[in-house]
Homo-oligomer: A and B are copies of this chain.
Amino acid sequence: MSERDTIRRRRGRGGRERILAAATALFETHGINPTGMEQVAAAAPVSKRTLYTHFPTKDDLVVGYLEHLGESGRTLESVLDREDLPPRQRILALFTVPETDGPIRGCPFIDAAAEFPDPHSPVHAYSSEQKRRLADRLTELVSALGVAEPRPLGEQLAVLVDGAASRAMVLDDAGCGHHARAAAEALLDAALSARA
């Protein structure tokens, strides 16, 4: 690769990253639908041509933003990848509502799905996939703990995780995480003592 190609590629990558950073900030502050493509281009800053080269449609940009949150470990779910932590600790870490400078944010996938009510829209479908995956991963972890019927408990824990995120957002109160965690511990302990 020539030096010029390297520079061009680096610039291109920088453009994509700047677009995603700007989109993330705008979506989180104002919501997705009120944020126009032009605002994202202006905030990045990139030309509209560059923006549309990376993300031909608003749907592409929103899915790109959600993918980027996951890939950069900025979702609550990313703690599930922490192979250094024992399963129970990884599960319970999901109930720590992240601190932010501004208002408490909910689960970005649920919030995005709420803004795109049609389940067949690319944004809603992507969010749904992520939330199904959360229950699958919780089921795996619960199974690793030795619970006999892991699927129902995995699904119940997913309800608690998403309920805590939704209530923390709407109430702007991280305390919801404590209540959800207490319920999760009670359900885990009951499932594990039933096994014994």
Q: Which residues of A contact B (CB under 8 A)?
A: 28-31, 33-34, 103, 105-107, 109-111, 113-119, 124, 127-128, 131-132, 152, 155-156, 158-167, 169-172, 176, 179-180, 182-183, 186-187, 190
Contacts and interface: CB of A to CB of B under 8 A. Distances in A.
A169 B31 contact: no
**Among all A-B residue pairs, the 8 with the closest Cβ atoms:** A163-B163, A159-B163, A33-B33, A155-B179, A111-B114, A156-B183, A119-B172, A113-B170
Nearest to A156: B183
Contacts of A162: 163, 166-167, 170
Q: Assembly of this chain: how many copies?
A: 2
A112 B43 CA distance: 26
A107 B167 CA distance: 11
Contact of A179 (B118, B159, B176, B183): B159
B183 A160 contact: yes
The interface centre, meaning the residue of A167, A180, A186 with most chain B CB atoms within 10 A of its CB, is A167
Contact of A30 (B29, B105, B117, B131): B117
Contacts of A187: 183, 186-187
B33 A34 contact: yes
Contacts of A105: 117
Contacts of A131: 167, 170-171
12 contacts: A29-B117, A31-B33, A107-B166, A110-B114, A113-B169, A114-B115, A158-B167, A159-B167, A159-B176, A159-B179, A162-B166, A190-B190
